[in-house]
Structure 1
Amino acid sequence: MNPLEAIILGFIQGLTEFLPISSSAHVQIAQEVFGFGDLTKPQLTAFIATIQIGTELAVVSYFAKSVIEILRSWFKNGFRPWSKQEPNSRLGWLVIIGTVPIVVLGLIFQDAIETELRQLWIIGVMLIVFGLILGLGDRIGSKTKQLGELNLRSGLAFGFGQALALIPGVSRSGGSITVGLMLGFTREAAARYSFLLAIPAVLGAGAYQFLGSYQDLPEDLLAATIAATIVSFVVGYAVIAWLLRYLIKGSYMPFVIWRVGVGSALLIALGLGAI
């Protein structure tokens, strides 16, 4: 993979990470359709996990003030009785608790995630199925709850929604946002918590994958990965700002249509042997 190909994939990663359409699916589709590089599936998994660090650094940068307030409150009040903690301290615990499902399931099914599950047929089906589920959640959810109304049960439910993204094509933000909508949270509140919830999971997964695989990557691929990570950071930051403004009035239906369209086109192409 040369630097230009990596930058294109980094752009796709940054553009799609925070939209509920599955960034890993779009990166893999682009890589296989256009033949960017001759990567093994474990190498592709490591590449995707690493460039996701760029987008998560974009989240940390965009929500820096909130992250600092949450950490400060958690260290100050986090070990008091739940009822006596400040809202930000409780939010810190909810992020920790919500991260547990994806960490545990990710470690258990790591081999399958890096090999068997990374198939375009699975990605196509998941894009369609979870796109329709997202549309259902957006339609039937009451969309009345704000971020301050999160509790232990709903925080953990968000976490299991995020863990569904271990299946390529589901989407980390899409899975957790869908759960939030089903629980009655507003579109913006569901997205904000989804972004905060992703920070420890994605940074941890990216660091784990990078440290475990960079020794086996040739220098040109390592340099290309760093370039893609920088691009994903810049583009991801812009997408966060746009999406949160859009969700004040907009719905998730355009993303549902996109998911179903891309998934259908992918399955048709696979069926015809075009890919």
Structure 2
Amino acid sequence: MSMFEAFALALIQGLTEFLPVSSSAHLILPSEILGWQDQGLAFDVAVHVGTLMAVVGYFRKEVTDLLGAFFRSIFKGERSADASLAWMIALATIPACLFGLFMKDIIEVYLRSAWVIAATCIIFGLLLWWVDVKAKCEFDEYKTTPKMALWIGIAQALAMIPGTSRSGATMTMALYLGYTREAAARFSFLMSIPIIVLAGSYLGLGLVQSDTPVMWAPILTGVVVSFVSAYACIHWFLKLLTRVGMLPFVIYRIALGLGLAVFLATR
């Protein structure tokens, strides 16, 4: 992997991980369209570390409060709004863990293709548009119930299909359930933390068991660039969301899906 490829892929990962446009789709496309080689396990771990550092760093106060309340609820029996939200985030993580455990190989073999990405970009983009238009925008994330958490968790699990977008699917479901746009985004970002930790740990285990030599320059580039771009992306997305809603991302998804379909059909 060249330094340019490392920079470009890390930038793509950082900018798309938390936007409703699918980071997995954008990381698959360079190999499909430009013929770039697979970035490898070590680089996957690096960009996961970078995006994890970004979301934890941006929401550092919320993360500290939620973790403290979570452990106090276990060891001291303390009940609070933060403890409840922490438990709902944990509950929402379960469907993706189960889905990944049983469906990962099937997805890798049958669904990791540009045609699937084109279809899911369009389908889930239209779904996001429909839900955003109809959204009641009544609740914040602290009103999350176990039933809501499970539905959002199921949406996160389905987002393992390339092109769906984890943040897009979870925000779509949250909006459908009545969250405000800001609350849907915050809950989606916070629930990304345990899933990124689990995914990064799984990839890290594979890296430890692999004999492939690690090229440290691209790895460090991946961590730094994905961290900076993801942090900036979270900041500006939350600021723009109240002004423009989801429509720009819907348009982008549909344009990406249609453009990719045309490219595949004519190449």
The question of a shared fold, defined as TM-score above 0.5 by the shorter chain, is answered with yes
Alignment of 1:51-90 (within 5 A): 51-78=47-74, 85-90=79-84
Conserved in 2, the CA contact under 8 Å of 1:45 and 1:114?
no
Structure 1: gaps (5+ residues): none
Match for residue 178 of structure 1 among 172, 175, 179: 172
Alignment of 1:56-205 (within 5 A): 56-78=52-74, 85-205=79-199
How far 1:102 sits from its partner (Å)? 0.4
How far 1:121 sits from its partner (Å)? 0.6
Q: TM-score, normalising length from structure 1?
A: 0.91
Q: Which moved more, 1:224-233 or 1:261-270?
A: 224-233
Conserved in 2, the CA contact under 8 Å of 1:177 and 1:194?
yes
Q: Which moved more, 1:180-189 or 1:148-157?
A: 148-157
**Distance across 2 between alignment mates of 1:25 and 1:223:** 25
The aligned length equals 266
**Distance across 2 between alignment mates of 1:116 and 1:129:** 18
Structure 2: gaps (5+ residues): none
Conserved in 1, the CA contact under 8 Å of 2:44 and 2:203?
no
Q: Secondary structure at the match of 1:20?
A: coil
Conserved in 2, the CA contact under 8 Å of 1:181 and 1:190?
yes
How far 1:268 sits from its partner (Å)? 0.9
Q: Secondary structure at the match of 1:19?
A: coil
Q: TM-score, normalising length from structure 2?
A: 0.93
Report the CA distance shift for 1:144/1:28 in structure 2 as closer, same or farther (over 3 A): same
Deviations 1:167-212 (A, max 9, x none): 0000000000000110111111000000001101112112211321
How far 1:116 sits from its partner (Å)? 2.4
Conserved in 1, the CA contact under 8 Å of 2:42 and 2:214?
no
1:23 and 2:23 correspond: yes
How far 1:80 sits from its partner (Å)? 7.2
**Distance across 2 between alignment mates of 1:100 and 1:264:** 33
Partner of 1:248 in structure 2? 242
Conserved in 2, the CA contact under 8 Å of 1:51 and 1:226?
no
Residue type of the alignment partner of 1:92 = A
Conserved in 2, the CA contact under 8 Å of 1:144 and 1:185?
yes
Report the CA distance shift for 1:210/1:113 in structure 2 as closer, same or farther (over 3 A): farther
Conserved in 2, the CA contact under 8 Å of 1:98 and 1:160?
yes
Percent sequence identity is 41
Deviations 1:228-251 (A, max 9, x none): 132111110001011111122321
